[in-house]
Structures are given as C-alpha cells and as structure tokens.
C-alpha cells in the first residue's frame, strides 16, 4: 500500500488555494467557478459537498478526478496528481447524468467497464453477479439498458462505480430519480462502505440524504467554502434541550411542566407527540407489501453489500445495516421453463414423459457431482475451492451429456 494512504489519519484528497477560471474564446476571464478553496478529506470519511446551482461543486469534483485542471493552487489525490492514470484505477465515479450504452444489457455494461479496468474475467463475473444483486437488478440483468427507467439506470450507474472496488468513491447526485426505498438502500450501502474504510465524496441537493450519511460537510457559494465542519456539530442547537419520554397522563405532564419552569426557568415549552418521517412511513408500507409476496416487474430490493466490497475493519453498526439490507422477500431459484410442467398439468402424456426424463437426468447429475466431489483440504483458499467446484460441475456435466447421448443411440425408435 502506498505511504500516502498507509495511515488512516492521512488525507485522501488535499486541495490548497484551488482556483478555476473559465475563459471565453479570446482568453478573457468569463466566470470564476472555484475561488481559492482549501479542502481536506480523510481516509474512511464520508464527505458531503453542498451548494446551490453554479456554486462550483461539479467543477471541484472534476478537478479531483483530473478531468479539469486548476488555474492556480494545488490538488493531490492519494498524495499524487489526479492526472496519474494509476491513481484513477483507485477511484469510482458516478456522474450526475447517467451515460450508459443503451444496446448493452446490465451485465454486459458492468463487464465492459470491468474489462477496461483490467479485472480478470473470472473475477468480473463474480463481481457482476454480486453488484446486480446489491442494487436490485439481479432479475433484469439480461435486459438492455435502453429499456431501463431512470431509477434503474441510476442503480446500474452505482454498480458501475464500484466494479473496481475503489478506495475513493465520488457520487454526484446518487439518489436522483430513485424511489424512497431505493434511496434508503443506497444510503445504507454508502454508510457500510464508509465503515469498511472507503472514502466517499458525496454531492447532492437532497440535504436529508447528506444529513443521513455524511460525517462532515462543506457548503460552497460563489466558488468559496462558506461553512465546513462535522454534521453533528454544525447542526446541534446548544441553546435548547430535547427530552423524549413515554406517553404521560395529563397529571404527570402538568407536574413535569411545573418542575421545568421552576428548576430551569423554562417558560416557553413546546409539548407534542413525535412523528415518524414520511420516508419511514413509506418504507414500512413497502416492506409490508413485500412480506405479502406482491410481485413487481421493476427493480427488486437489494441483497446487501457486495461480498467483494466487504473487506475492511467493519463494526457492529455496519453489521446491523447489513442485516437490515438482507431483510427482503424470499427468493426462489430460477428454473428454465421447458414446458414439461405445463404439459403435465394439461394431461399430455408426452409432457409427463419429458418431465420424468428431466427428473432422471437431474438425479444422475446429482449422483455424478457427488462422485466428483473431492475431500476438502483445510489449507484450500476460497478461490481454490471455487475453482474446484467449477471444474467438478464441468466434468459432471460432460459425463451426463455422454450418458444421455449413449442412451439416445441405444433407444429404439417409437
């Protein structure tokens, strides 16, 4: 690991007096998009970059990615210039607008980006399967992207940003176009990635999303940072105290009010019942519908964080988030539709015979697979075990094909 990120206290992104001026055709200054900002993002931090339209957020992000060059100042990513190609391999980027090839399927899209990044084919297939399940697109992975809704395309764009298991993840409006259920899942994934040691830069106009997931924020206006700090500190109102208690009778409530006025001098009291957010109410309704096995032709609930992204310290907090992400409607394995079952239901003798042949073939395949299973060696790695399983299935399938072909040759014509 490079020395720049060896210590968790080091900064992943450092910008000093960063300035970007857009000029017209004649080279005259037209707009000062970023004006001498200083920015530092620590390893494992979820950092929110906020500001109204035209405040310089997108320009700052593009300079961090090496897509734009500053006129003045200095910027370092992982201790090096963002122009370094090797540094770009450690960055995942989800742009505000989704630019994907409409004639590729979801799986082909991820495979395309993975191949560009030099990921081995076997590892690409493994990551694609996990990412599609994570963003709820497992059942539509063979559909072309041009058929996707905007929200489904945004889910795929997030998966594309994570295909290389990046150390720095830059998300520009990651929840735009998503339904509340998908927003909650994406925010949970972002929190888990932060707990797992990923550094995340989040740009969003949805302030509730930033408040939910970010550790620190910076507010830009006119190309300058007007406010910066920890979310907990800058949003806390020190002059007030809130007390949450179980429901009280009128007599007890009156006594509490009397004591507060007497002991704390609190003359201006506000008493009401707490409310859940509309987001929480919506999520509760959808989860009840899912528990009733209601079908949908759109994106499904995600299955939780992808396995290859889980490497990291972890904690009890992100483990609880993972458990929440895993709560979803039960999944049934997809079985190819041969038509035998439908023919059997209709009473067709030919369909019943084919179904019996399929069951016999399945039993023979299971027997062959068991015969091919070697004894486990405790020293085998997970990757070796996966390769052994794959080789065993291939050998069993080849033997079954040979058996079926020999059966066809020896069976007399009806």
Look up residue 405 and give its two tokens. 């072909």
Q: What is the rounded distance in angstroms from the CA atom of residue 219 to the CA atom of residue 357?
A: 67
- State how many domains the chain has: 2
State the pLDDT at residue 350.
46
Which one, of 289, 322, 321, lies nearest residue 307 by Cα? 322
Q: What is the rounded distance in angstroms from the CA atom of residue 56 to the CA atom of residue 35?
A: 9
Look up residue 346 and give its two tokens. 């209709």
Task: Single out the residue in 211, 235, 259 at which a domain terminates.
Answer: 235
Same domain, yes or no: 231 and 90? yes
Task: Single out the residue in 220, 235, 250 at which a domain terminates.
Answer: 235
Pairing of strands 168-172, 91-94: parallel
State the pLDDT at residue 9.
47
Domain-located, residue 261:
no
Same domain, yes or no: 95 and 211? yes
**pLDDT tens series, the chain, 414 aa:** 444 444 544 789 999 999 999 988 887 888 888 999 999 999 989 999 988 888 888 899 999 999 999 999 999 999 999 988 889 889 999 988 888 899 999 999 999 999 998 899 999 999 999 999 888 898 898 999 999 988 889 889 999 999 999 999 999 988 887 888 888 888 888 988 888 889 999 998 888 888 889 999 898 888 888 888 888 887 777 777 777 778 778 888 788 777 777 777 766 667 666 666 555 666 666 667 667 654 454 455 555 667 767 655 555 555 555 555 544 444 444 434 444 444 444 444 445 666 666 666 666 666 655 555 555 445 556 666 666 776 776 766 666 666 666 655 555 544
What range defines the domain where residue 53 resides? 3-235
For residue 297, which phi and psi values (nearest 5 degrees)? Answer: -95, 0
Domain-located, residue 251:
no
Domain-located, residue 369:
yes
Domain-located, residue 105:
yes
pTM of the model: 0.62
Domain-located, residue 220:
yes
Q: What is the rounded distance in angstroms from the CA atom of residue 348 to the CA atom of residue 382?
A: 47
For residue 216, which phi and psi values (nearest 5 degrees)? Answer: -135, 155
Same domain, yes or no: 166 and 38? yes
Task: Single out the residue in 188, 203, 235 at which a domain terminates.
Answer: 235
State the pLDDT at residue 238.
72
Grouping H, G, I as helix, E, B as strand and the rest as coil, residue 257 is helix
Domain-located, residue 274:
no
State the pLDDT at residue 123.
92
Residue with tokens 């208690």: 245
Which one, of 204, 214, 253, lies nearest residue 234 by Cα? 214
Look up residue 246 and give its two tokens. 């179980």
Same domain, yes or no: 89 and 207? yes
Domain-located, residue 156:
yes
Domain-located, residue 272:
no
């Amino acid at each position: 690991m490079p020395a720049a990120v060896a210590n968790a206290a080091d900064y992943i992104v450092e910008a000093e007096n960063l300035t970007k001026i857009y000029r017209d055709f004649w080279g005259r200054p037209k707009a000062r998009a970023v004006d001498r900002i200083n920015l530092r993002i620590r390893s494992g931090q979820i950092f929110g970059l906020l500001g109204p339209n035209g405040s310089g957020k997108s320009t700052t992000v593009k300079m961090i990615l090496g897509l734009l060059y500053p006129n003045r100042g200095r910027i370092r990513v992982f201790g090096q210039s963002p122009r370094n190609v090797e540094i770009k391999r450690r960055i995942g980027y989800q742009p505000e607008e989704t630019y994907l090839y409409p004639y590729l399927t979801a799986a082909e899209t991820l495979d395309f980006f993975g191949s560009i990044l030099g990921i081995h084919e076997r590892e690409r297939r493994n990551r694609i399967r996990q990412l599609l399940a994570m963003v709820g697109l497992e059942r539509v992975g063979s559909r072309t992207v041009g058929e996707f809704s905007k929200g489904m395309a945004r889910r795929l764009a997030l998966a594309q940003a994570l295909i290389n298991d990046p150390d720095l993840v830059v998300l520009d409006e990651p929840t735009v176009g998503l339904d509340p259920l998908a927003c909650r899942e994406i925010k949970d994934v972002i929190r888990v990635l932060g707990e797992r040691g990923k550094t995340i830069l989040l740009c969003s106009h949805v302030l509730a999303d930033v408040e939910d997931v970010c550790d620190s924020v910076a507010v830009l206006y006119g190309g300058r940072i007007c406010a910066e700090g920890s979310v907990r500190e800058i949003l806390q109102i020190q002059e007030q105290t809130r007390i949450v208690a179980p429901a009280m009778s009128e007599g007890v409530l009156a006594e509490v009010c009397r004591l507060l006025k007497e002991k704390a001098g609190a003359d201006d009291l506000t008493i009401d019942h707490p409310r859940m957010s509309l987001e929480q109410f919506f999520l509760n309704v959808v989860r009840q519908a899912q528990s009733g096995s209601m079908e949908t032709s759109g994106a499904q609930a995600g299955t939780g964080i992808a396995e290859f992204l889980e490497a990291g310290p972890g904690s009890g907090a992100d483990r609880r988030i993972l458990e929440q992400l895993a709560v979803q409607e039960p999944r049934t394995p997809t079985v190819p539709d041969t038509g035998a079952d439908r023919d059997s239901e209709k009473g067709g003798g030919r369909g019943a015979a084919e179904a019996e042949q399929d069951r016999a073939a399945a039993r023979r395949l299971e027997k062959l697979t068991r015969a091919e299973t070697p004894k486990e060696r405790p020293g085998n790695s997970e990757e070796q075990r996966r390769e052994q399983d794959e080789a065993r299935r291939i050998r069993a399938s080849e033997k079954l094909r040979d058996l079926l072909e020999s059966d066809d040759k020896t069976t007399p014509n009806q």
